[in-house]
Chain A
Amino acid sequence: MNKIIQEIKKSVLSALWLMILTFPIMVIKVNSYEGVVLWRWKNLMWIGIGTFFLSWLWRFLLDRKENGPGESKPDADRDGKFSLRKALGERKVKIPTLAVLAILVLAFPFMVKFYQVGIMTSALMFVILGLGLNIVIGYGGLLHLGYAAFYAMGAYTYGLMYLYWGLPFWAALPLGAVSGAVFGIVIGVPVLRLRGDYLAIVTLAFGEISRLLLENMSGFTKGPEGIAQIPRPGFFVKLSLQGATTYLFYICIVLVLFAIFVIRRLEDSRIGRALEAMKEDDIAAQSMGIDLAKTKLITFALGAVWAGMVGVVLAAKTTYINPGSFTLMESVMILVAVVLGGTGSIPGVILGAFLVTLIPEYFRALADYRMLMFGVALVVMSIFRPQGIIPRVRKRYLVGEDKS
């Protein structure tokens, strides 16, 4: 009984707090035309009631998280239960699943409206961006907030090279990757000694500086007006808009597969081990003989390569680029995709990227509130599932009898 009274007290307090906080925007409305103030007391009531119950629910969930609905079971005990991850790991299930998925993906452009193909291509581009940023953040443990600069680098590589030399898409794609990597190293050098928050701030600044440079070097980059009429890739002959979009969709699929392949190889490699050590403890990593400077630069370069390639694809897809497409917001959205999905986890990042791009696309009505939604999602996630929707499962090699 005492506990219930306490709970009610807490909820009433949070309700009161939010009522006061939102009073100016939710209650007062000035009708400047008639010169009167509308007092919308009803809103206040709803906020009060809503907060009262939601805060109760919130605390209930928190409590459940802390104490669990009974015993929380360690991973080893889950053997008996059905686990999706485990089922997918078995050959019998894995191969048919992959086959169905492959057919679905290949047939996708012919099953849906042309408009959907465009959206899906954008989502796939975001997937690649997420996978790239994931190398820097998930594996290297370096918080990078200026990732859009690498993206811009790729897009402008194609844009400018087409503008000045008439370079085609297929020549620009590898060049975009190279220029992304080079830019990654160039940015990496001055931030070698930084870590954590300082690194985040400096990379953020670099991202903005790059954008401002693109905006202000009007003679060279055409400034804010951007570069227009960049050609879409042709398939031996010039493709129609529809054909080119479908073609880009397949290119993106190949790039996604390529990225997944490279990242998985990376995880098992010597560099992967060095990254792991650097993320865990950089001083100890140094004492193991790991060259921190080199490893950090490799991380930046490996992350930037993907952004560079996606940048080229973006330029080809929209046929128009300007610095406005590479703002801090873009970097933040990629970061949200990575963190939401699961830092360091490939399926997680893919899911995160799809969520971040497709939800605002298909729920147009909510588009205005999307920042609010992502904010809420991140707060909720960081409390209830900080490791992401699909957390990373680190491969471990086990030796000896106790293969727990």
Chain B
Amino acid sequence: MLKLDNIKTYYGNIQALKGISLEVKKGEIICLIGANGAGKSTTLMSISGIEPPRSGSIFLEGIDITGMPAHQIVTMGLSQVPEGRRIFPQLSVLENLDMGAYLRRDKEEQKRDLEYVFDLFPILSQRRNQSGGTLSGGEQQMLAISRALMAKPRILLMDEPSLGLAPIIVQQIFGIITRINKEQGTTIFLVEQNANQALKIADRGYVLQNGMIVKSDTSSALMADEEVKNAYLGV
């Protein structure tokens, strides 16, 4: 589905990614874990075209999308939940969701998808006419996920969906991520600091350190790994 081949991304002269290769297969939940500044968000931004890599190539369903502008990558069925949610604060919940479906013209199916996200997050349905900016952190995260879903992506990139949320909400959100994966068949690529939770729902995981992938394995193997345990799981 998604393949990264030796991606190198720079911010000015600073190299953030030092050659990243990874693969996400169709229908999988993959998580990328790592410490602050390891390059997790940069990896996502490189994939979605917001910070294009300087070298290497990215393939989405066999098509080379390296260097393609961000808005065009969205049309190829890749959608992302950006870090820090980035919902539109002045727009209502409904308008935010509508913005997620900006590229779509199929009104009927949009309605069905709207029903689906309201079913996933009933609270959003209650707050549909409220401004996005007045939602709580957890609700905003739900809105950001729903908005990305409204684009009907085949692959969904998520940047730290658990950031700044109460543990109970985190559990709820991770539960929903699995649900989306199972029910819609959406492939999910998750970037998380909360490695414990992320590995629990993921099929496989990659460990990122200083812009390089240092480990990759199935989730259960990673959770059993001594180094990963010490560094990221805190047990």
Residues of A within 8 A of B (CB): 270, 273-274, 276-277, 280-281, 283-293, 394, 396-400, 402-404
- B87: which A residues are within 8 A, CB to CB? 281, 284
- A276: which B residues are within 8 A, CB to CB? 88, 90-91
B151 within 8 A of A: yes
Query: Contacts A287-B82, A288-B102, A289-B75 known; A394 to B70 CB distance under 8 Å?
Result: no
What are 20 A-B pairs with beta-carbon distances under 8 A? Answer: A270-B102, A273-B102, A276-B88, A276-B90, A277-B91, A283-B86, A284-B82, A284-B88, A286-B50, A286-B70, A287-B70, A287-B82, A287-B86, A289-B103, A291-B69, A291-B72, A396-B92, A398-B92, A399-B94, A404-B129
Which residue of chain A is the closest to B131 with respect to CB atoms?
A396
Among the listed B90, B125, B128, B151, which residue makes an inter-chain contact with A288, where contact means beta carbons less than 8 Å apart? B151
Minimum CB–CB distance from A14 to chain B (whole Å) comes to 36
- B215: which A residues are within 8 A, CB to CB? none
Decide if A394 touches B90 in the complex (CB within 8 Å): yes
Which residue of chain A is the closest to B45 with respect to CB atoms?
A283
Decide if A277 touches B88 in the complex (CB within 8 Å): yes
Decide if B70 touches A400 in the complex (CB within 8 Å): no
Which residue of chain A is the closest to B86 with respect to CB atoms?
A284
Interface residues on B, range: 20 to 34
Decide if B129 touches A400 in the complex (CB within 8 Å): yes
Which residue of chain A is the closest to B147 with respect to CB atoms?
A288
- B91: which A residues are within 8 A, CB to CB? 276-277, 280
Residues of B within 8 A of A (CB): 48, 50, 69-72, 74-75, 79-80, 82, 86-92, 94-95, 98-100, 102-103, 125-126, 128-129, 147-148, 151
| CA A289 to CA B162, docked complex, whole Å | 24
Query: Contacts A281-B88, A287-B82, A289-B75 known; A399 to B128 CB distance under 8 Å?
Result: yes
Among the listed A273, A281, A403, which residue makes an inter-chain contact with B86, where contact means beta carbons less than 8 Å apart? A281
Decide if B86 touches A399 in the complex (CB within 8 Å): no
Among the listed B50, B86, B102, which residue makes an inter-chain contact with A290, where contact means beta carbons less than 8 Å apart? B102
Decide if A396 touches B82 in the complex (CB within 8 Å): no
State the 7 A-B residue pairs at the shortest beta-carbon distance, nearest first: A289-B74, A284-B86, A280-B88, A289-B103, A286-B70, A291-B71, A288-B102
| CA A214 to CA B126, docked complex, whole Å | 58
Given contacts A288-B151, A398-B129, 18 further A-B contacts (CB under 8 A): A273-B98, A273-B99, A274-B102, A276-B91, A277-B88, A283-B50, A283-B82, A284-B88, A285-B99, A286-B70, A287-B74, A287-B80, A287-B86, A291-B71, A293-B69, A397-B94, A398-B92, A399-B94
Decide if A288 touches B129 in the complex (CB within 8 Å): no
The listed residue with most B CB atoms (<10 A of its CB), out of A285, A286, A291, A398, is A286
- A399: which B residues are within 8 A, CB to CB? 94, 128-129
Minimum CB–CB distance from A329 to chain B (whole Å) comes to 32
Which residue of chain A is the closest to B88 with respect to CB atoms?
A280
| CA A283 to CA B45, docked complex, whole Å | 10
- A283: which B residues are within 8 A, CB to CB? 50, 82, 86
